[in-house]
Amino acid sequence: MKAAVLYGKEDVRVEEIEAPALKAGEVRIQIEVALTCGTDLKVFRRGYHAKMIVPPAVFGHELAGLISELSEAGAQAGWSVGDRVVVANSAPCGCCFHCQAGQENICDDLLFLNGAYAESIAVPARLVGKNLLLLKPETDFLDAALVEPLACVVQGIDDAKMRSGQHVLILGAGPIGLMFVALAKALGCKVTVAGRRPARLAAARSLGAAQVIDIGDGADLVSKVRAATKEHFDVVIEAVGKPDVWEACVHLVRKGGTVNFFGGCPAGTTVTLDTTLIHYSDLTLLASFHHTPRTIRRALEFIESGVIRAADFVDGECGLSELPGLLKSMTAGNRVVKTLVRVRN
Ligand SMILES: [Zn+2]
Ligand SMILES: [Zn+2]
């Protein structure tokens, strides 16, 4: 089968590879839809991700498709060839301290699945057991493929205890920032978005943001937001992943408010925060990572109830052979939100 293989820094090649034979408990998914993700771009630039993917390895992790082959145990588990499914990009062990505490997102032994940019993928038994979900007949594969990033956003919203009536500031209007807009709006929050690209800000508006703030080159973020709005923000979400934006958050949230440092910054970076401000303003600062089997299921409910639709986030399309070129052009500054990768011609 054809697959995109990550070899290292800015080195992804589309090759003919052997589809691995299924092991006990595994199922094979014929991939109908694969989506690009911000994490892919980070990994492409760096050449690896210590936790998620170590090259050489088949690349990509957002997918939906049809079960095309079952191991015996897979069949016993109730799956059938032809089932329309989505699978998450990881599954927790279920036994470690954090899993037992209900924090499966930080499981000590998360098993990651890569290989969405391929004609098919063998799903390990643990993922089949924990994070393989059957789609409703009317659910579009393209919508379903949003489950993984959306589950991370559901995690972020739950962690920040966001609720109806709150005023929420979202910093960043990439795919994740935009998913926060859609879910916060669905929850009944009043949403303001600060971002850099007019097309993204227009997307935020159409998803229901009450106000959008163009922060231009990103310099003087705090004064630009303050000049644009007198709103007191109950919750501030950092969806950029830059230390200076993390630092700005504590100056933009109201007294007694909550900041979720959602965007992961480059390894080794640090931030400087005003301790007096944090203490006397009684701020709650937190960070969310990844998803759990529960938030994966919540995410699919949001998709299947029509709250989240791929049409609002997927703005590009390419064939598998064009993927390396697309990743290069994204590295050079071509900022599509998400691209549908057609794995078969
Ligand atoms: Zn992703
Ligand atoms: Zn665990």
Owner of token pair 């994740």: 176
Lateral strand order in the sheet of 11-16? 11-16, 2-8, 57-58
User: From the CA of 327, how far away is ligand 1's center (Å)?
Assistant: 14
Q: Where are the beta strands (DSSP E) in 9-154?
A: 11-16, 27-35, 57-58, 62-70, 84-87, 90-91, 111-112, 120-123, 132-134
Question: Burial level of 31, CB count in 10 A (0-12/13-18/19+)?
Answer: buried
- The token pair at 251 is 């100056």
User: From the CA of 278, how far away is ligand 1's center (Å)?
Assistant: 32
- The token pair at 225 is 């937001």
**Quick check: 336 pLDDT over 90?**
no
User: From the CA of 150, how far away is ligand 1's center (Å)?
Assistant: 9
Q: What is the pLDDT of residue 192?
A: 98
Domains in the chain: ranges and CATH? 2-150+291-342 (3.90.180.10), 161-286 (3.40.50.720)
Q: What is the pLDDT of residue 143?
A: 98
For residue 51, what pLDDT band results from cuts at 50, 70 and 90?
confident
User: From the CA of 111, how far away is ligand 1's center (Å)?
Assistant: 15
Mean pLDDT of 117-146: 98
User: From the CA of 311, how far away is ligand 1's center (Å)?
Assistant: 17
CA–CA separation, 27 and 32 (whole Å): 15
Chain-wide mean pLDDT for the chain?
96
Ligand closest to Cα of 39 equals 1
Ligand closest to Cα of 95 equals 2
Q: What percent of the chain has pLDDT over 90?
A: 92
**Quick check: 345 pLDDT over 80?**
no
Look at residue 81 and give its three-state secondary structure: coil
- The token pair at 213 is 């703030």
Q: What is the pLDDT of residue 180?
A: 98
Mean pLDDT of 249-264: 98
